Structure 1
Amino acid sequence: MKLPVSTEWVLHCATTLAQLDPGASASTTQLAQYYDLPAPYLAKQLKALVKAGALAATTGPRGGFRLARPASEITLLQLVEAVDGTSPPYECREIRRRGRGALPAEECRRTCVLAEKMAQAHEAWRRSLAAVTLADILDSLPASAPARTRLRLTGTA
């Protein structure tokens, strides 16, 4: 499965926002400069996280994005699905019933074994991401990372 580059962006940006002081925010421009990303496209992705309830946005000169909930309540699955959707990556089109190799109808009463295995793999992937929160990610960062992130992103430690 190959996810779009925007998935990496939102995972890193959400992790970065989780390192800020409670209630603090960062603008699209700050995040785009921090990671050398195109601000207009990043803004679109961040708005998807707002719509999903993972981030909150404020307007005005001091506006920006911040976590909408505690980091312990935001899973990687929620972030990924906010920008990539919830559709499974594999769709069986039942080609086993077509062409010269078409199977008889009685052999196709059961779900295609390949579709079944792909669905199981997708569900395992979803369970894995659902079991990891932003707080878990923060716990695995070096102790100096949050202060360094705050200093480089907002100029405050």
Structure 2
Amino acid sequence: MSGGVEWALHCCVALTVARSPASAARLAEMHDVSASYLAKQLQSLARAGLVHSVQGHAGGYELTRDPALITVLDVVEAVDGARPAFTCTEVRQRGPLAAAPERCLSPCSIHAAMTAADEAWRAALRGVSIADLTRNVTVKTGPDTLRRIADWLG
């Protein structure tokens, strides 16, 4: 998973408390990351329909829907794509001891284990929303954190 996922998730949490559209530059400054790098992550979120860009002097980004309806998996797939973490290349059918194709009609145990892990990982991320992350911010970093974020973006 790319580092862009982490930045995108932090931006989504920040946008839950923004009083108006937040610029990529302001979000980048708040997170101490390159504005051009963060803009790429925000553009990925926009292409996926999770945020939209508001043009003009007071423009910036805002969430397109309730944070409870945006999952962590939505953000991961927006930034990194939906491809599985593991791609089977049928190693068992290669080399001098290769299994015959007719003996490989079902996935091998490695493929099955990796697919099950990928499905479990996706289910776990699908079960956590941006609203869940936002609720946990005050527990993890203090009760005034969301107010400070809103004021910063203000």
Q: Which residue in 1 is equivalent to 2:107?
A: 111
Q: Which residue in 1 is equivalent to 2:55?
A: 59
- TM score, norm. by length of structure 1: 0.90
2:36 counterpart (22, 36, 40): 40
Separation of aligned partners in 1, 2:67 and 2:102: 51
Query: Map of 1:20-39 to 2, 5 A cutoff?
Result: 20-21=18-19, 24-39=20-35
SS of 1:56's equivalent in the other structure is: strand
1:137 counterpart (111, 133, 136): 133
Deviation at 1:51, TM superposition (A): 1.4
Report Cα offsets for 1:2-47 as digits up to 9, x if no partner.
Answer: x1111111011111111223xx211010011111111112112101
SS of 1:118's equivalent in the other structure is: helix
Q: Which residue in 2 is equivalent to 1:95?
A: 91
SS of 1:86's equivalent in the other structure is: coil
**Structure 1 residue 6 corresponds to structure 2 residue 4:** yes
Deviation at 1:68, TM superposition (A): 0.7
Please list every run of at least 4 consecutive aligned residues from structure 1 whose deviation after the TM superposition is greater than 6 angstroms: none
SS of 1:61's equivalent in the other structure is: coil
More displaced 10-residue stretch of structure 1: 102-111 or 89-98: 102-111
Separation of aligned partners in 2, 1:105 and 1:52: 39
Separation of aligned partners in 2, 1:55 and 1:127: 22
- TM score, norm. by length of structure 2: 0.91
Task: Name stretches of at least 5 consecutive residues in structure 1 with no aligned partner.
Answer: none
**Structure 1 residue 84 corresponds to structure 2 residue 80:** yes
**Structure 1 residue 123 corresponds to structure 2 residue 119:** yes
Identity %: 38
SS of 1:141's equivalent in the other structure is: helix
2:15 counterpart (17, 34, 41): 17
Q: Which residue in 1 is equivalent to 2:149?
A: 149
Contact 1:75 1:131 in 2 (8 A): yes
The count of residues paired between Structure 1 and Structure 2 equals 150
Contact 2:51 2:63 in 1 (8 A): yes
For 1:40, the aligned partner's letter is S
Indicate the RMSD between aligned Cα atoms, in angstroms.
1.3
Separation of aligned partners in 2, 1:119 and 1:28: 36
Task: Name stretches of at least 5 consecutive residues in structure 2 with no aligned partner.
Answer: none
For 1:146, the aligned partner's letter is L
